[in-house]
């Protein structure tokens, strides 16, 4: 997908996340980690959006909150709502675009 990290958020139909499935289960974390049901941070912002959300530098964005302890460091963020008609079903998250000059590895 051209990103260092990818994840899928599945909404619970009550305004929160039911599941958060990430693409790095090899890192010793549960691949079906359930985040806080609160609508906060960039993920919460995306829950109210009909359009993609792109953030070049996550930690410089005032909406950035709620990173759990031991969360991998990330620079850029792209979140895309998954919709069926007027209803949001979930979200796709991509972080750290491969080849981006801001991201040094």
pLDDT digits (tens, 9 = 90+) for 26-47: 555 555 455 555 567 888 888 8
Helices (H), the chain: 41-47
Question: Residue 19: phi, psi to the nearest 5?
Answer: -140, 150
- pLDDT score recorded for residue 5: 87
- pLDDT score recorded for residue 102: 63
DSSP string, 3-24: EEEEEEEEE-SSSSEEEEEES-
- pLDDT score recorded for residue 81: 94
Domains of the chain: 3-97 (3.30.450.40)
């Amino acid at each position: 997908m051209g990103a260092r990290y990818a994840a899928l958020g599945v909404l619970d139909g009550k305004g929160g996340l039911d599941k958060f499935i990430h693409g790095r289960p090899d890192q010793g974390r549960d691949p079906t980690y359930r985040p806080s049901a609160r609508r906060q941070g960039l993920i919460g912002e995306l829950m109210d959006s009909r359009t993609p959300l792109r953030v070049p530098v996550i930690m410089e964005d005032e909406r950035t909150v709620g990173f759990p302890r031991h969360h991998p460091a990330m620079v850029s963020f792209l979140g895309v709502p998954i919709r069926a008609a007027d209803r949001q079903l979930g979200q796709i998250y991509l972080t750290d675009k491969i080849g981006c000059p801001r991201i040094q590895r």
